Every structure is written in C-alpha cells, then in structure tokens.
Structure 1
Amino acid sequence: MPELPEVETVMRGLRQRLQGRMLLRAVARRPDMRWPLPPGLAATLTGARVTSFRRRAKYILMRLDNGWSVLLHLGMSGRMLAEPVGRNAITLHEHLELETDDGWRVGFVDPRRFGSVDLIETEREDRHRLLAGLGPEPLDESFSTAVLAAALAGKKTPIKAALLDQKVVAGLGNIYVCEALFRAAISPQRLAYTVPGARTKRLVPAIKQTLTEAITAGGSSLRDYVQTNGELGYFQHAFNVYGREGRPCPGCPGIASGGAPADPSCSGIRRIVQSGRSSFYCPRTQR
C-alpha cells in the first residue's frame, strides 16, 4: 500500500497539473470502489475550479472553489495518472476521469478497487470519519520529541506497532517505520513505553529524515505505485533494512564489506513477523 512519501508525491503531481484549473468534464465509470461513490460526484466536479491540495496522513484532499473537497485514497493498488487529452485510450481499471480546461486528463486507476473517493465540505475536512482522530503529521514542526514521548507513555505494545497506530502519528507505514527504527538504532520489538528519553530524541529526526529522503526520491515503487507522470519512485534502492533479510546493514560490524561474515555469530538483517507484517532490523545495532 502506498505510504506517506508516495501519497505526498502523488499529491504534489496532482497539484502541479490541476491547481488553478477548471474541470470541464468528470466521469465516474462505476458506482463504487472500496465504498460507494458519493451521490452527485461528477456533477459537483464538473465546472468547478481546483483551488488547492492538502495531504492528511495517507489521504489526498483536492479543494474546489464551490466549497467542496474531494478525498482520495489510493488503497492497495491505486494510481493517479495525468496525460494530455486524446493521447491514449482509457486505461484499464480507470474508475474516475477528470478533464481540465488546459487540455489534460487525470484518471484514477485502481485494479483491486481498495481505493476510495468521497466528497466533504471543505470547512469540515477534519471531521470526516477517515480523518477525525488522526495523530500529528510526522513532517510538521509540531511533531516533536515531547509529542511522541507523550503518545508512547504507558504503551506496552512493541514500538513498531505503536508507530503504525495512526492515532499516535499519522501516515507512517510498514516500510518507513522499519527504516526509521534502523536509523534510530531501536529494535522493533522494544516496548513503546521504554522509548521516551534518549531513544525518542533519535527516533523523531530519524522519522523526519527517512520520509523527507523518500519524498525527494519520489517514493518507493515495489508493486503498483507510480508517480502521476507514470515514472517509478526510487527510494527502494536506498533501503537500509527493508526486504534485505540476511544481508549486511550499512557499516555492519559483523559482516565484511565483501559480504563474507567477519563474525560467524552475525547473520545479517533479520526478518520477523509482527501483527501479520514483516519487520526487518539489525539485531546487533538495534536494541
């Protein structure tokens, strides 16, 4: 599933293509995706001008000049693709199409239909059932060591599970939690309530740096994800631990640079399953 960096990258692509443009045409090609599409969706979009965009957690909000916002969630396999009108035929599994006054079309393509589209009054965005109760944005200045420490206090779940809790921090997913915990030298199995203190001071900047670098790289393309121009993301080439079971971590003290074990007791990056998800970490450096 696309995580925060992928959603941010898609949002920026949509903003570049759609902000300030009038939507001359909107077509919903099916009545539902994960949930039923809102009544009057196409009519609300047609003739409206896009004023701005916002990302909240893993959701994209496209604001219109008629007082409505369109909430977009990519789900498991969703993509937003932009191209000039008339360049190509309708893409397979394209469920929503937007056409702009400057000759571009944007399609929401989702083969598995786990994505969703909804309408919200712009002034009520944060009260939507999918957004209400979300935790702080990890890239906001307000997300600080003190804020995270307070959220983790008393939690007896593993820190990996705590960081995936959208009420603790919004938008983090499995890949980037694994990568941030490695940078902070914290085991994904460590109980969350033991992290506040020196570990939290390492973890907050590690989260911010990981996400910022991933956004700069256009996100990570592992399966279905592409940017709005069809290009892949490239952060998967910079993974330190995710998907690297048995391989040395960067600067590994236990495995020589050529890959041969310098210490027979070091087995490299380990993979475990936590709450049904794979966690990758270095047991020598993450405690």
Structure 2
Amino acid sequence: MPELPEVETVCRALDKLVARKTVQKVHILRDKIRTTIPPALKKLLPGYKIKDVERRAKYILINLTRAKSPSLTLIAHLGMSGQFAVAGGQKPRLREKHDHFMLDFTDGTQLVYNDPRRFGLIEYAPTEQLGMHKLFKDTGPEPLEKTLTAKNFYARLQKSRAPIKSVLLDQKVIAGVGNIYASEALFLACLHPQMSAAKITPAKAAELLAAIRLVLKAAIKSGGSTLRNYKSADGITGLFQHRFKAYDREGTPCPLKNCKGEIQKIVIAGRSTFFCPQHQKKSC
C-alpha cells in the first residue's frame, strides 16, 4: 500500500499535470471500490477548475474551485493497487478493464483512476469542512510539518504501551507513516520495534522523529518505493527500494558500519517487520 512518500510523489505529479484544468464531464465506469463512488459527482463537478493537488496523510486531495460556488475537494486513496494517469491530447489511452473513474477536461485530456484490486477510495467534501471529514477529524499531525515538535511527539508516544512499531502505524498518532518507513526509521533510531512506546525517553523520541523525517524526505526525493506495481501519475516508478537498510532485507548483513548483526523478520500486529537485533535493542 502506498505510504506518505508515494502519495506525496503522486500529488506532486498530478499538480503539475492537471492543475488549472477545467472539468467538462465525469465518468463513473465501475463504482464499486472500497466504497461506492458518489454518483453526485457526475452532476457536481463539471465546470469546476482544479486549483491544486495536495496530500493529507495517505490521501490525495484534489482541490477544485468554481465562480459563485463553494470550493470542493475530491478525496482519493490508492488502496493496494490504485493509480492515476493523465491521458488524451498527445497521449491517447484506450479504456482499460480496471478503470473506475475518469474526468474529461475542456482541453481534451482526461484524468483516469485505475484500481485492479479495488481497495481504493474516491469521495468528496466541501473544502472548508475537510478538517471535520470522517477521514481526517481524528488524524494525527503530519511528520514533516514543523508544528510537530519532539516534545509533542514524545507526549503522543507516552499514551501507549503498545510496541513502537504498531504506534507509528496508528494514523491518530502520526499521519502517513506506514510499514516500510516505520521499519526504516526504527533502524536508524536504533530502537527495537517491539519496545513499548511509553518506555521511550524524550531524547530517543526526538531521535526517532528526526529519523522518520530523514527517511521520508529521502524517499520522496527518490520518488517513493516500487515493490509491486506502484508508479506515479507521470508513469515513473520509485527508486527508494534500492536504498532500504532493513525493510525486506531478511537474512542480509546489517548495513550499519561496525555492526555484525543480521536483519531479521518478525510479525507485529500482523505486519512484517524488519530489524537488526544487534543494535536495535529494547533497552537502547
């Protein structure tokens, strides 16, 4: 499932490709994905212009405006296999089996959402009410925003005795971090993934937050990670999978200098977790 870096990469590509385009027609080709695509979009969106595309947690937010009308935001989640593509104009595209949703623009291009496994989501909300939408009202702070301080992050960790790996995946604690980047950040911060979040010291919490930010920024710069079929809206695959230090490297030597450990795999709360027991100790 795409995590923060992949979704951020898609948002940046979409913003370059579709911002300032005006919706002419909406096609709901197959409405059954995770939830039913709202049929009201067919009458609601024509005439709206895409202002910009941004991210919140693991969601894509397509902000739309129209004169004398309230601003709207199209909310999308890629699920396990969802992809956006821009077609038409100089890039004609035949309709594919798993196309679910399409916007025709007045310039002759289209924005297509394709999702073979149908775990994705498309909804909408008035932009002014987005913060109170059911998908976001309980969502934690963005890890890359300066408003999330080490002190605040530490306070959030203190509220749970669950393994730190599980806590990092809790979107109410911190937004956008997923399985891959939780393992990578814990590796860099020298924290055992099974360590209780409540036992982490203020200093270690600050170190972990710095590691999360370092990993996420590096992954965004690399276009995210492509493990199966992920690619951005411009068709480019991610490269960060070539820089993994722990994730999906079971049985390989620890890449940390002077560490003689070996990457191991365990399962925490049903999720595969990779770490080096040599330097990621529960007491560190």
> Which bin holds the TM-score, normalised by the shorter protein?
over 0.9
Instruction: Say if 2:75 is the partner of 1:81.
Output: no
- Residues of 1 paired with 2:234 and 2:259: CA distance? 42
Count of matched residue positions in the alignment of Structure 1 and Structure 2: 276
Match of 1:207 among 207, 212, 222: 212
- Residues of 1 paired with 2:113 and 2:40: CA distance? 17
- Residues of 1 paired with 2:152 and 2:159: CA distance? 14
* Deviation larger for 162-171 or 92-101: 92-101
The alpha carbon displacement at 1:208 in A equals 0.5
Match of 1:156 among 156, 161, 165: 161
| Contact 1:153 1:196 (8 Å CA) reproduced | no
- Residues of 2 paired with 1:129 and 1:196: CA distance? 33
After TM superposition, where is structure 1 displaced by more than 6 Å over at least 4 residues in a row?
none
The alpha carbon displacement at 1:252 in A equals 4.6
| Contact 2:157 2:167 (8 Å CA) reproduced | yes
Kindly report the root-mean-square deviation, in angstroms, between the aligned alpha carbons of the 2 structures.
1.4
- Residues of 2 paired with 1:84 and 1:192: CA distance? 50
User: Unpaired runs of 5+ in structure 1?
Assistant: 256-265
Partner in structure 2 of residue 271 of structure 1: 265
Instruction: Say if 2:27 is the partner of 1:27.
Output: yes
- Residues of 2 paired with 1:224 and 1:43: CA distance? 32
The alpha carbon displacement at 1:24 in A equals 2.0
Partner in structure 2 of residue 117 of structure 1: 122
| Contact 1:83 1:229 (8 Å CA) reproduced | no
The alpha carbon displacement at 1:92 in A equals 2.6
The alpha carbon displacement at 1:101 in A equals 2.9
Partner in structure 1 of residue 275 of structure 2: 281
- Residues of 1 paired with 2:140 and 2:35: CA distance? 24
Normalised TM-score (structure 2): 0.93
- Residues of 2 paired with 1:237 and 1:249: CA distance? 15
* Deviation larger for 181-190 or 37-46: 37-46
* Deviation larger for 274-283 or 36-45: 36-45
The alpha carbon displacement at 1:160 in A equals 0.4
Letter in 1 for 2:42: A
User: Unpaired runs of 5+ in structure 2?
Assistant: none
Partner in structure 2 of residue 106 of structure 1: 111
SS of equivalent residue, structure 2 residue 92: coil
Letter in 2 for 1:84: G
- Residues of 2 paired with 1:58 and 1:143: CA distance? 17
The alpha carbon displacement at 1:254 in A equals 4.6
